[in-house]
Amino acid sequence: MSGATAREQSDVFAANRAIGRVAFAVAALRGTTGRTRVDEQGSLRVRFLHRTSSELEAVLVNSAGGITGGDRFDLDISVGTGARLVVSTAAAEKIYRSLGADAEVSVRLKVDREGSLLWLPQETILFDQARLRRDIEIDLATDAKVTLAEALIFGRAASGEAMQTGSLTDRWRVRRDGKLIFAETLKLDGAIAAKLQERAVAGAGVAVATIFMSPAGDAEVSGLRATAGSFRSELGVSAWTGLAVARLVAEDGATLRHDLALAVTALGASLPRPWLN
């Protein structure tokens, strides 16, 4: 392939990359939670459902049907004072093989005083040779409450496919009143299937999840540990300085989904509607 042809092909791929953005705000309005601002761009959409009189559910939809290298998606969500929001996705998100560029996902979440956010998207499935860079930034007011649960599945076991190689960078930063209270970056690159076999990584598991809760403490830890006998995954949970983190590692996506739903329920939350379909 000549240099000119390669450049032309690169330009074609770049022109066909998916770009999407959703930004919205919700507020407490006369005993209920309602949307006050919604901005949708590109292939990202959001739909709203009322769960209870005081709680609103937002369902994110990616009309592009998946994400691949060079795609860019941005989410910016604000929960107003006293508002209660649950966020999920209409389906599991698929990260397809990349020709070289990273797919980029940026999530910005803000929860004001006495606000509550449950973030529970369906699983992110990484195909072989996928490349994903995700950045999650959370800003909490003094007494805001947040529970986030994210699940990653490496490959499609039901189709006999594994994620042999690829790249994943998953960066989380949580601040309360502007002060950093939690920082974590997960990075897997190169021979991912081989790395997942290592005991210190996933012990041959191919499906992992992290649940972050703040404020949280011994009660949340005890609640999860009390139901540990019903889990099919390996579970670990700890609490410190007003927050708690739980990790799940499973042999497949179906097992992880079962246990993630069990964990969220044990924490006193109701599952979003897409999880029940």
Residue 26 makes CB contacts below 8 A (sequence gap 6+) with 33, 34, 35, 36, 56, 58, 78, 79, 80, 83, 85
226 close to 187: Cβ distance less than 8 angstroms: no
pLDDT at 10 over 80: no
Place 81 in a pLDDT band, splitting at 50, 70 and 90: very high
**Chain segment 139-170, per-residue pLDDT in tens:** 999 999 999 999 999 998 777 788 999 999 99
- Across the range 192-203, mean pLDDT stands at 94
Whether residue 65 is predicted with pLDDT greater than 70 in this model: the reply is yes
Rounded Cα distance between 41 and 50, Å, is 23
More confident residue, 181 or 12: 181
pLDDT at 277 exceeding the cut of 80 = no
**How many CB atoms neighbour CB 31 within 10 A?**
8
Q: Is the pLDDT of residue 2 over 70?
A: no
Work out the number of other CB atoms within 10 angstroms of the CB of residue 160: 7
Give the pLDDT confidence score for residue 14 in this predicted structure: 54
8-state DSSP, 274 = G
Asked whether 220 and 167 are in contact (CB, 8 A), the reply is no
Say whether pLDDT at 232 is over 60: yes
pLDDT for residue 7 is more than 80? no
Give mean pLDDT, residues 185-211.
95
- pLDDT over 70 at 12, yes or no: no
SS3 258: helix
Using an 8 Å Cβ cutoff, are 257 and 91 in contact?
no
Task: Tell me the per-residue pLDDT of 243-257, one tens digit each, with 9 for 90 and over.
Answer: 999 999 999 999 999
Q: Cα(180)–Cα(229) distance, rounded to whole angstroms?
A: 34
